[in-house]
């Protein structure tokens, strides 16, 4: 079954989805507030298991990469809006790879 949406319907659908994500606390960080953090985003993307959405959230949620590297699993999970298991893998990588 193929569905065809008009541009206006697509925009309405995207707006609705974005509002629901925001209500659930799962909205992406605003691109506008990340303009000066492109290097940080690139760093976060170099860490295994970090998606673009997580990298954006890390850049918005941590004041610095050093703060990220010194964070607990719980804080990485909260800021990255991810599972505990994935946050643990990220923290473990940072602690064992010599990045931290």
Per residue in 84-99, pLDDT tens? 999 999 999 999 987 7
Per residue in 40-80, pLDDT tens? 989 999 999 999 889 989 998 999 999 999 999 999 999 99
pLDDT at 90: 98
Separation CA 48–CA 76 (nearest Å): 14
Topology annotation, domain 30-96: DNA polymerase; domain 1 (1.10.150)
Which burial class, exposed, middle or buried, applies to 79 when counting CB atoms under 10 A from its CB (0-12, 13-18, 19+)? buried
Q: What backbone torsions phi and psi does residue 3 show, to the nearest 5 degrees?
A: -115, 140
Domain ranges of the chain: 30-96
């Amino acid at each position: 079954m193929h569905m065809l949406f008009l541009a206006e319907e697509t925009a309405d659908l995207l707006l609705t989805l974005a509002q629901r994500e925001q209500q659930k606390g799962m909205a992406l960080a605003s691109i506008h507030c990340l303009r000066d953090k492109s290097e940080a985003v690139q760093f976060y993307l170099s860490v295994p298991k970090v998606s673009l959405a997580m990298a954006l959230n890390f850049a918005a949620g941590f004041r610095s990469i050093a703060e990220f590297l010194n964070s607990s699993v719980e804080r990485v999970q909260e800021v990255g809006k991810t599972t505990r298991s994935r946050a643990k893998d990220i923290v473990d990588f940072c602690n064992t790879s010599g990045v931290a």
